[in-house]
């Protein structure tokens, strides 16, 4: 985004911080934060004049998820099924998290969670792929911070159980 973009340089910097937080410590994902922002921006498109900042950041989070997943799938295909990309499932943006998880497995689990509870899946998407704080998620979704925190805890627990079961089943 440039200075004349509908959301301005402060939003670009917010996206850049989110992307940097998402990519920090992820040697398996060979994508620089600036490139992630630019690819996400290309997915969203420039025709977003008049959109609320919180809603835009939510769209950007979804686009970043798609970019990361697309990269992971391409990398896996290039290795002919070899190792999947590992990321951390952090409790807050920038945390070290609770160990490495497979980004494609997270995406698949998140798709399943969205079928069961779309709101909780959205919270995970905004936090995990968008790097948004509880307050930012609450603003973007029109929910209270308490609701977002409850949804995050419940969704995170569901994902951990689901991912552990997937790992055990192979």
Determine if residue 131 is left, alpha or beta; phi over 0 gives left, psi from -120 to 50 gives alpha, anything else beta. Answer: left
Residue 119: inside a domain: yes
Of the chain, the percentage scoring pLDDT greater than 70 comes to: 72
Residue 47: inside a domain: yes
pLDDT greater than 90 at residue 146:
yes
In angstroms and rounded to an integer, the radius of gyration of the C-alpha atoms of the chain is: 16
pLDDT at 78: 65
Residue 89 Cα to chain centre, angstroms: 10
| 3-class secondary-structure state, position 7 | coil
Average of per-residue pLDDT values in the chain: 77
Least confident of 7-16, 37-46, 82-91: 82-91
Q: How confident is the model at residue 85 (pLDDT cuts 50, 70, 90)?
A: very low
- C-alpha distances out from residue 137 to 6, 34, 83, 164, Å: 21, 22, 32, 26
Range of the structural domain that residue 143 is part of: 8-169
Q: How confident is the model at residue 79 (pLDDT cuts 50, 70, 90)?
A: low
Distance CA 166, CA 5 (A): 43
pLDDT at 118: 96
Distance CA 48, CA 105 (A): 31
pLDDT at 170: 61
DSSP structure string for 25-82:
T-TT----HHHHHHHHHHHH-S--TT--HHHHHHHHHHHHHHHHHHHHHHHHHHTTT-
Residue 2: inside a domain: no
Residue 3: inside a domain: no
Residue 161: inside a domain: yes
pLDDT greater than 80 at residue 76:
no
Residue 31: inside a domain: yes
Structural domain count, the chain: 1
pLDDT at 121: 95
Segment 43-72 mean pLDDT: 78
pLDDT at 157: 92
Residue 1: inside a domain: no
């Amino acid at each position: 985004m440039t200075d004349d973009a509908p959301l301005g340089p402060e939003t670009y910097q917010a996206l850049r911080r989110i992307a940097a937080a998402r990519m920090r410590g992820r040697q398996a994902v060979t994508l620089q934060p600036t490139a992630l922002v630019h690819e996400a921006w290309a997915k969203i498109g420039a025709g977003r004049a008049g959109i609320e900042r919180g809603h835009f950041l939510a769209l950007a989070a979804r686009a970043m998820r798609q970019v990361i997943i697309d990269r992971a799938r391409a990398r896996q295909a290039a290795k002919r099924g070899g190792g999947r990309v590992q990321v951390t499932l952090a409790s807050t943006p920038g945390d070290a998290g609770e160990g490495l998880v497979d980004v494609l497995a997270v995406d698949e689990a998140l798709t399943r969670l969205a079928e069961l509870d779309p709101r909780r899946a959205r919270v995970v998407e905004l936090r995990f792929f968008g790097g948004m704080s509880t307050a930012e998620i609450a603003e973007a979704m029109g929910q209270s911070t308490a609701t977002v925190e409850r949804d995050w805890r419940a969704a995170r627990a569901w994902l951990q159980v689901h991912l552990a079961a997937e790992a055990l089943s192979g």
